[in-house]
Amino acid sequence: MIKDSYQISVVIEKDEYGYYAYCPQLEGCQTQGDSLEEIKTNIHEAIELYLSTLSDDEKKERLSQEILTMTMEVKVA
C-alpha cells in the first residue's frame, strides 16, 4: 500500500520541563516529550493520527496553508 506524503510545518519549543511541539496547519495537533528524539517521534505519531481523521477535502484545505518561519536578531536599546 502506497501512503500519501505531505509537507507539514512543525514548531518545537524547549523549556525547563522538556519539549512541546505543534503543527500550525493542524489546529489542536500537539504533543510533548522529554527529549528531542522523543518529541520528534511523538509529533510524527500525532500528525499521522490527526490526518487519519480527515477527509481528502479537509486535508487539502488544511495543508494548503503556507507557513513561513524565520529567525530574526533584534537589538533593543
Residue/partner pairs of 25-29 with CB below 8 Å, 24 or more apart? 25/62, 25/63, 25/65, 25/67, 26/50, 26/51, 26/62, 27/62
pTM of the model: 0.83
pLDDT per residue over 12-62, tens digit each?
A: 999 999 999 999 999 999 999 999 999 999 999 999 999 999 999 999 999
